[in-house]
């Protein structure tokens, strides 16, 4: 519905923002209603253009090199760590005073993804009765899926 790279301002004191111990996850928010033919309820990172996915890989590169994000399942509990979460937004159409409008909702989820140059991957391990599951950044393309 619209191209929007995002906004990253959070109203907190700068010392708290710079404290890496306060970083529990990186949220990757997809543009609202990203995939064609829908209102966003089933959007996936695969609907991002190649260039947008390359930008994300570059961002991951920057964040890992600055120590703001780590890789690997063994770092999901670290602060900062390797934990990732995706967010997608979907719209529900309604008729308002000025005609048709949309009520937007946000949904947090995870999915597997491999970066364009295969430098990184995001791994999704679904929750089970015996494991809380995980969504984390890893270097590509190791096969480790044991939850620790």
Return the pLDDT at 21. Answer: 87
Inside any domain, residue 82 = yes
**CA 132 vs CA 41, 74, 126, 127, 146: distances in Å:** 24, 14, 8, 5, 12
pLDDT surpasses 90 at 91: no
6 assigned to some structural domain: no
Q: Which domain holds residue 59?
A: 14-139
Does 106 fall in a domain? yes
Kindly give the residue spans of alpha helices, DSSP state H, lying in the chain: 14-18, 50-65
Q: Helix or strand or coil: residue 45?
A: helix
Q: Is residue 49 domain-resident?
A: yes
pLDDT of 52 over the 90 cut: yes
pLDDT band at 112 (very low <50, low <70, confident <90, very high): very high
How is 19-44 classified by DSSP, letter by letter?
-GGG---EEEEPPTT-STTSSSTT--
Tokens 């089970």 correspond to what residue? 128
Instruction: Indicate if the pLDDT at residue 46 is higher than 60.
Output: yes
How many domains is the chain partitioned into structurally? Answer: 1
Q: How far apart are CA 41 and CA 36, in angstroms?
A: 11
Is the distance from CB of 35 to CB of 44 less than 8 angstroms? yes
Q: Is residue 68 part of a domain?
A: yes
pLDDT of residue 39: 82
Residue 77 within a domain: yes
């Amino acid at each position: 519905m619209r191209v929007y790279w995002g906004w990253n301002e959070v109203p907190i004191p700068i010392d708290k923002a710079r404290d890496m111990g306060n970083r529990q996850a990186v949220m990757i928010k997809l543009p609202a209603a990203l995939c064609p033919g829908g209102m966003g309820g089933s959007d996936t990172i695969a609907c991002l253009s190649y260039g947008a996915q390359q930008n994300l890989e570059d961002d991951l590169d920057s964040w890992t090199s600055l120590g703001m994000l780590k890789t690997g399942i063994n770092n999901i509990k670290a602060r900062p760590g390797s934990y990732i979460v995706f967010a997608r937004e979907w719209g529900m159409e309604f008729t308002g005073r000025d005609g048709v409008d949309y009520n937007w909702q946000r949904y947090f989820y995870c999915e597997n993804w491999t970066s364009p140059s295969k430098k990184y991957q995001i791994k999704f391990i679904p929750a089970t009765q015996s494991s809380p599951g995980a969504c984390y950044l890893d270097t590509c393309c190791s096969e480790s899926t044991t939850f620790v």
